[in-house]
Amino acid sequence: MSTGRLIIDLDAVVANWRNLDAMTGCKTAAVVKADAYGLGAANVAKALFKAGVRQFFVAVAEEAAVIREELGPRPEINVFSGHMKGDTDLIRDLRLTPMINSVDQLTRHLETLPDHPFGIQLDTGMNRLGMEISEWAAVAEVALAQRPTLVMSHLACADEPDHPMNAYQLAQFRKMTDGITVPRSLAATGGILLGPDYHFDLTRPGIGLYGGLPYADAQPVIELDLPVVQIRDVAEGEVVGYGNSWQAERPSRIATVSGGYADGIIRMLSDRATLYAGEIPCKLVGRVSMDLLTIDVTDVEGDPAKLTLIGPQQGVDDLARAAMTIGYEILTQLGARYARKTFGK
């Protein structure tokens, strides 16, 4: 096999959802946007639905099609981007629930789909999506009279438990919503970990389902193995890869493996990443190229057939730290060329 193998453990996804759900006394949905953070929305949603999830969130309306096709009419599918111009037919035909973000979106929804469910997203300080306090005050009476399914907001700094922004946004959310009878939602993964004050009626875990921080106790969900294409001997002083960016300081054995930035292994990992031959760490040397990596396997006995980039020895967030990014980016950049093996429910 000449492509990398990406193993996806759906049982771990389900276990992570159940563990996060057990931390709350409310309903727990699941965020499956960006193709379930790169792991396959149809399979992930199917496994979570079997586990009891009845409410899913996607970023844009188009992402909902594969979930609706897989699960039929039963689950509620919420759209963070709301009711965008041009989305009316899709929202109606797929029976989606847009999270209305502005007065314009509210007007569009009530005029084009007056009897169709919707939710409301409020901006409590992140300044990204949702109605600000003045906008909400102007339309709250009208909006609430239409019985929205949910009123929600999103925390900007929930991955930093002591950040003052968390308490500020909680206070703003309460100021904007206390007294309403509509279900409320503030917490994604980080918000769940902040405790019951942030849970309200529904939580919306995303990254925690897929084994990423800030849920440090999450079960790992993926393993990524890359096949070795060739191994060569490199003499002391010889160079490897584009730009001669790495020079051997000793006689070395260099494995060329199949994988590169076309597969989501970002160039920032050049000369920084570690792969593993079993338990033996092997440094990536030279630049990440489009399709290939060069790895120093001098300390490995024999010729390894594959090297592991993500697995028991190194999780998604470990790799992200080496790339000076976050686990979200690593997951969502996983390329389409990998041979994917999904197992579990």
pLDDT at 343: 86
Mean pLDDT value across residues 220-243: 97
Residue-wise pLDDT tens digits, 20-63: 999 999 999 999 999 999 999 999 999 999 999 999 999 999 99
Whole-angstrom distance, CA of residue 74 vs CA of residue 77: 9
pTM above 0.85, yes or no: yes
Whether 242 sits among the annotated catalytic residues: the reply is yes
Average pLDDT value over all residues in the chain: 97
Point out the catalytic residue in the list 27, 33, 210, 276.
33
Give the pLDDT band (50/70/90) at residue 119: very high
Using H for helix, E for strand and C for coil, what is the string for the chain? Answer: CCCCEEEEEHHHHHHHHHHHHHCCCCEECEECHHHHHCCCHHHHHHHHHHHCCCEEEECCHHHHHHHHHHHCCCCEEEECCCCCCCCHHHHHHCCEEEEECCHHHHHHHHHHCCCCCCEEEECCCCCCCCECHHHHHHHHHHHHHCCCCCEECCCCCCCCCCCHHHHHHHHHHHHHHCCCCCCEECCCHHHHHHCHHHCCCEECCCHHHHCCCCCCCCCCCEEEEEEEEEEEEECCCCEECHHHCEECCCCEEEEEEECCHHHCCCHHHCCCCEEEECCEEEEECCCCCCCEEEEECCCCCCCCCEEEEEECCECHHHHHHHCCCCHHHHHHCCCCCCEEEEECC
1 pLDDT above the threshold of 70: no
Share of the chain above pLDDT 90, in %: 98
Residue recorded with tokens 């003052």? 164
Give the pLDDT band (50/70/90) at residue 111: very high
pLDDT at 345: 65
Point out the catalytic residue in the list 168, 175, 210, 242.
242
pLDDT at 335: 87
Q: Classify domain 10-210 at the CATH superfamily level.
A: Alanine racemase (3.20.20.10)
Give the pLDDT band (50/70/90) at residue 189: very high
Give the pLDDT band (50/70/90) at residue 279: very high
Whether 345 sits among the annotated catalytic residues: the reply is no
pLDDT at 243: 94
Share of the chain above pLDDT 70, in %: 99
pLDDT at 74: 95
Give the pLDDT band (50/70/90) at residue 304: very high
Residue-wise pLDDT tens digits, 56-110: 999 999 999 999 999 999 999 999 999 999 999 999 999 999 999 999 999 999 9
Domain boundaries, the chain: 10-210, 222-343
12 pLDDT above the threshold of 60: yes
* Token pair recorded at residue 89: 């037919």
| Fold for the domain defined by 222-343 | Lyase, Ornithine Decarboxylase; Chain A, domain 1 (2.40.37)
